[in-house]
Chain A
Amino acid sequence: MDTALNIKDITKKYKDFTLGGIDIEIPMGFSSALIGANGAGKTTLIDIICGVTANDAGTMEYFGKYTDNDRSELRNMIGYCSSANYFPMDWNLKKVAEVMDVAFDNFDRKKFSELCDKFKLGDPSGKKQKKLMKMSDGNRMRTYLAAVLARDTSLLVLDEPASSLDPLARDLLCDMFRDYLAEKDGERTVIFSTHNIADMEFVTDHAIFMAGGKVIEKGFVEDLKEKYILVHGDASVSEKAVPYLLSSTSNKTSFEGIALAEDAEKLAALDTAIEQPTLQQLSIGILRKAEQDYEEK
């Protein structure tokens, strides 16, 4: 399997936050999700990947041959999009098309019009144009996405693309990711960040969990689903079960948590229900553990 992006020991220090020693290999041809709470460092990492912010230490290797010194080649190959304030507020669709055409080599105006139509934004060449500041958050985000998807890029890096979208638009976004990956079968890669993986579960191939500026777990989704199990049981059994669990929640009648699959037999013996976790359930378990570890410090 080829690597689209090899991140080695990337570090960035701020006054009250440190993104520390990030090591990740983003597989080429797949969709990788950065999952974590607000403040986990996802946006900082994405900004460093796209050249928006400079890292203090570490190296990055893109597509097996470029480094972060080759920004001039990389700018056209990487499609970056943030979730808020991506374009100036006084722009409309027409202006977005005009500027994108000038700012990048691979912007396709026709594709942009098609995407605007698909996202129900209107016609970029039409007479009545709405300014971005007058659009809803959801429509603004759709505009940003239409602009970045209309470019012929090799790596799509999106910071929280789904957060301001309604379920229907999220579903459309998932379809757009799959279309993007299928078009140049195996040569294109998607990285996106989210703090709620539920709606994006069926478009996530590789997951990277972040908390407190560090990567706490990563891997292909199918492998992670076999590495961990979801455990439920009666409150009466919780005391015996909890030591095996990564993290758990409990109330008067029952408990639920995530554990390693290798402990499945021991847990099954305690009369608990064991099943394969969804990515959402896995995220909750892993992030909860990180939060508990942080509170213990």
Chain B
Amino acid sequence: MKKNDSLPFWDAVKVYYGTSLVRIFICMFLLPVSAVLLFVTSIFLMSGGKEEALSVSSIGVILFFCSAYMFFIMDVRVNSSNLPGWKFLKTVKGGFDTYAKAAVTITAVSVLVVLLYSLIAALLYIADIVSLFNTPGACFALWISEMVLIAVIVFLRLIENTTVRLLAYSAVLFQVLLLYLLLLHTVKSMSAAVWIISAAASMLMIAVSSKVSISYYKKKIWEN
């Protein structure tokens, strides 16, 4: 006689983060964007209004950097075994199922945020307003690097010590940043087919790594 004990994913997020899913999504989207706007405005003002002073690749790097840290910070709350609230979270309705739902939802939101950036960049490019990325390849570089980053963050949850995790994260970020810069300079033109295939492959990669890390987490850390 098993009672239905699971929470819907938006409630799972509410329990682990204390705020609604909508607020989290907006936060994760806006913070890196505002960092970029701040950067653009300050460069603009400093260079006396010269458009050319804006290097498109630096915009991309700022966006990448800020969103990367955003994803990391938001993910830390889910694996909260070192933070206050851990024992409470182990006893809420749904137990591990609630944790898994919160973890997967945050990963999904991270992917959606990157998707949204790419869409906005594409729309701006098509509408010929401004080209945030000088080539379609630049957008592709951002997408792939962010996806790889998200897939790796998901495994970093398994490191219990927050300091070690931060160091590991910084190391990973550096590597992925190099990947981003490499892709930026090598991929100048893209065919739609490559785009679609790589987009699908990266989403699959995240889904797999998320599932593996969550089951590993359950065995090694939750059922301690």
Flag if A80 contacts B84 (CB, 8 Å).
no
CA distance A51 to B84 in the complex (A): 17
Could you say which of B11, B85, B91 contacts A88, with CB atoms under 8 Å apart?
B85
**Residue A71 interfacial (CB < 8 Å):** yes
User: How big is the A interface, by class?
Assistant: 20 to 34
Flag if B5 contacts A75 (CB, 8 Å).
yes
By DSSP majority rule, is chain B's interface helix, strand, loop, or mixed?
Answer: loop
CA distance A44 to B131 in the complex (A): 59
**Residue A256 interfacial (CB < 8 Å):** no
Flag if A53 contacts B224 (CB, 8 Å).
yes
**Chain A residues closer than 8 Å to B85, beta-carbon distance:** 85-88
Interface residues in B1-47 by Cβ distance below 8 A to A read: 1-3, 5, 7, 11, 14-15, 18
Most chain-A Cβ atoms within 10 A of its Cβ — which of B2, B3, B7?
B3
Most chain-A Cβ atoms within 10 A of its Cβ — which of B3, B84, B90?
B84
Flag if A88 contacts B3 (CB, 8 Å).
no
**Chain A residues closer than 8 Å to B3, beta-carbon distance:** 72-73
Interface residues in B61-119 by Cβ distance below 8 A to A read: 80, 83-88, 90-95
**Chain A residues closer than 8 Å to B88, beta-carbon distance:** 80, 82, 86-87
Flag if B95 contacts A75 (CB, 8 Å).
yes
CA distance A82 to B18 in the complex (A): 19
Flag if A89 contacts B91 (CB, 8 Å).
no
Interface residues in A47-71 by Cβ distance below 8 A to B read: 47, 50-54, 71
Count residues of chain B with CB under 8 A from any CB of chain A: 24
**Chain B residues closer than 8 Å to A75, beta-carbon distance:** 5, 91-95
Flag if A72 contacts B92 (CB, 8 Å).
no
CA distance A52 to B18 in the complex (A): 20
Given contacts A72-B3, A80-B87, A88-B84, contact A51 B14 (CB under 8 A): no
Given contacts A80-B91, A85-B84, A85-B86, contact A99 B18 (CB under 8 A): yes
**Residue A104 interfacial (CB < 8 Å):** yes
**Chain B minimum-CB-distance residue to A87:** B85
CA distance A71 to B80 in the complex (A): 21
**Residue B223 interfacial (CB < 8 Å):** yes
Flag if A78 contacts B91 (CB, 8 Å).
yes
**Chain B residues closer than 8 Å to A47, beta-carbon distance:** 87
**Residue A227 interfacial (CB < 8 Å):** no
**Residue A95 interfacial (CB < 8 Å):** yes
**Residue A103 interfacial (CB < 8 Å):** yes
**Chain B minimum-CB-distance residue to A144:** B88
**Chain B residues closer than 8 Å to A51, beta-carbon distance:** 90-91, 95
Q: Taking the nearest CB of chain A, how far is it from the CB of B187, in angstroms?
A: 42
Given contacts A71-B95, A75-B92, contact A99 B14 (CB under 8 A): yes
**Residue A223 interfacial (CB < 8 Å):** no
CA distance A87 to B7 in the complex (A): 19
CA distance A71 to B84 in the complex (A): 22
CA distance A244 to B94 in the complex (A): 53
Flag if B5 contacts A50 (CB, 8 Å).
no
**Chain A minimum-CB-distance residue to B18:** A95
Could you say which of B2, B80, B84, B223 contacts A72, with CB atoms under 8 Å apart?
B2
**Chain A residues closer than 8 Å to B95, beta-carbon distance:** 51, 71-72, 75
Could you say which of B5, B11, B90, B224 contacts A102, with CB atoms under 8 Å apart?
B11
CA distance A54 to B14 in the complex (A): 26
**Chain B minimum-CB-distance residue to A132:** B84
**Residue A119 interfacial (CB < 8 Å):** no
**Residue A117 interfacial (CB < 8 Å):** no
Would you mind naming 26 contact pairs between A and B with Cβ atoms under 8 Å apart? A51-B91, A52-B87, A53-B224, A72-B3, A72-B94, A73-B1, A75-B93, A75-B95, A78-B91, A84-B84, A85-B83, A85-B84, A85-B85, A85-B87, A86-B85, A87-B84, A88-B18, A88-B84, A99-B14, A99-B18, A102-B14, A103-B7, A103-B11, A103-B92, A103-B93, A104-B93
Which of A's residues lie within 8 Å of B, judged by CB?
47, 50-54, 71-73, 75-76, 78, 80, 82, 84-91, 95, 98-99, 102-105
Which of B's residues lie within 8 Å of A, judged by CB?
1-3, 5, 7, 11, 14-15, 18, 80, 83-88, 90-95, 223-224
Q: Other than A71-B95, A87-B84, A87-B88, give 8 A-B pairs with Cβ distance below 8 A.
A: A47-B87, A50-B90, A51-B91, A72-B94, A85-B85, A99-B15, A102-B15, A103-B92
A-B CB proximity, top 6 nearest = A72-B5, A85-B84, A103-B92, A88-B85, A52-B90, A102-B11
